[in-house]
Amino acid sequence: MNAYLLELAQALISLAVAPLLVGFIGWLKARLQGRRGAPPWQPYFVLRKLFSKEVIVSEHASWLFRFAPYVVFGSGVAVTLLIPLFCVPLPFDAMGDLLMVVYLMLLGTFFLALAGLDPGTAFGGMGASREMTVAAIAEPTIALAIFSLALRAGSTNLGQIVVNTLADPTVALNAGHLLAFVALFVVTLAETGRIPIDNPSTHLELTMIHEAMILEHSGRHLALIEWASGLKLLIFFSLLANLFVPWGVATTLSPVYLLIALPIWIGKLGLLAVVVAVLETRLAKLRLFRVPELLSMSFVLALLAVISSFLLR
Amino acid sequence: MDETLFAPLTTLGASLVLLFGVVLLWRRSLNAYIQAFKWQSVILSGVFFLVGYFGHDPELYGVGVALLGLKVFFIPHLLGRLRKRVGADHEITPYVNIATSLLIGGMLVLLAYVLMRPVVTVSTLPTRGALPLALGLVFIGLFVLITRKKAITQVVGFLVMENGIALLAVLGTYGIPLIIEMGVFLDLLMGILVMQVFIYQIQDTFESIDVDRLTHLKH
């Protein structure tokens, strides 16, 4: 019973932390660029504002357009229930493994793209087609990268991977581990729409990807999508932090361990956020045609990770 | 340090070295090529120190220091100066495009794994896990050498291939004797100097360092 409550608490905490993570990156980036920047908790105000606004839907849009934001948000919440956040193993681990996680995330992306196409605007269609181009290479890379860890651990269950890595720390020092980490990191940047693949802070730019799809949404629909994209960032950061560097994740349900594990998890997220903010400040956005090249590099790295895990077991 | 850390650490080092090889396939700017080679050499010399420490062979420290001086400071500096004087910036049209290069690079490493499988199976060395990665790097270097058009990128491909061979040597045999290693370094240095002169000549004759132009030598 306690385990189920904890699972629920994990999901609620992630929902609460996700906007702060987005805000923190934005604030740090502004600081690094010599601007004062909006405070890290700004996304909460944005969400509150959006939730209290009315929803305007184009008269050409179908039910799909209204339905999509809930699917996007719902799939995000479902994934947070399935991945290791600060405590393993949990009962919901049995409900879905890494393939389930990958496909749930793809489901969200798919509906977002459909909703982009639905009203028939130029920008929406453009963004949807670009998002699919990125997702087509990025999704298999996620599956492959995590799969190379699963081969080592002997289980596709994400919680089990963390437990096994904690039991045998030398696993973390092999070729597959490193290559998979780099691959998943590049995909994280692509999937969450960060520089160098996409620029999250512009709305009207011909090269936008994610923002182009959600231009037509407003009010609580937009709020849900924004919240879900923050959640996606948190999900990817948690995967990077917990699957590759699992130390600090609680393996028992005792309150003492949980109280230590929670700040460690937040700390890891913060560290990754700092890395992303510095990268976003240092790098320029890639030309759109270079994006598939970068993604195919990460795909090759993930492939090599699987090969080395498989052939050198 | 603990002996059990030896195998994972060398594999980690070798995969970092390979990672810079793959990055090379993705980049276009000549400066990025030179930087990637430089950082790859930094990690390679780290692997030399590591094997020297765990294999109890102090000579390898000497080789590591020589490698650091030659491949991290001298050759990148030389290449950087060459690039500035020639004024070439980007590898715009390689014979094989970038995405295909990356996939072929992945296949080449796979091939290296297959080829090295018998060796890895019978070997009892703690470093055996990293051998296929080193061979893969040799293949990737060779691939860069034959598919890039600019003379400078071809030189970097050659250097990366040499890095792969050095890595293979240090992992497979715990380093060749210092005197031979020094001979190899000297050859390498001579080779680079000769290539430098060549590149200047190509630039002077054709006003470009695309080796494509070499097909019509007669005007």
Structural domain boundaries in chain B: 3-215
Taking CB atoms and an 8 Å cutoff, what residues of chain A touch B22?
A: 297, 300-301, 304
Number of inter-chain CB pairs under 8 A, A vs B: 69
The end-to-end CA distance of chain A, in Å, is 38
Collapsed DSSP state (helix, strand, coil) of residue A64: helix
Of B175, B179, B147, give the one whose Cα is nearest residue B160.
Answer: B147
How many other CB atoms are there within 10 angstroms of residue A286's CB atom?
Answer: 16
B25: chain A residues, CB-CB within 8 Å: 297
- Taking the CA of residue B17 and the nearest CA in chain A, the distance in Å comes to 11
Q: Do A175 and B129 touch (CB under 8 A)?
A: yes
Count other C-beta atoms under 10 Å from residue A89's C-beta: 16
One digit per residue, pLDDT tens: chain A, 313 residues? 788 888 888 899 999 999 999 999 999 999 999 999 899 999 999 999 999 999 999 888 899 999 999 999 999 999 999 998 888 877 777 787 888 999 999 999 999 999 999 998 888 899 999 999 999 989 999 999 999 888 888 888 888 888 888 888 777 777 788 889 999 999 999 999 888 888 877 776 777 888 888 888 999 999 999 999 999 999 999 999 998 888 888 888 788 888 889 999 999 999 999 999 999 999 888 888 888 889 999 999 999 899 888 876 6
CA dist A28 and A38 (Å) reads 10
ipTM above 0.85, yes or no: no
Q: What's the pTM value of the predicted model, to 2 decimals?
A: 0.89
Q: Which residue from A170, A174, A308 is facing B4, i.e. has the nearest CB?
A: A170
Q: Could you count the other beta carbons within 10 Å of the beta carbon of residue A178?
A: 23
- 3-class DSSP assignment, residue A174: coil
Residue (of A5, A11, A26) closest to A202 by Cα position: A26
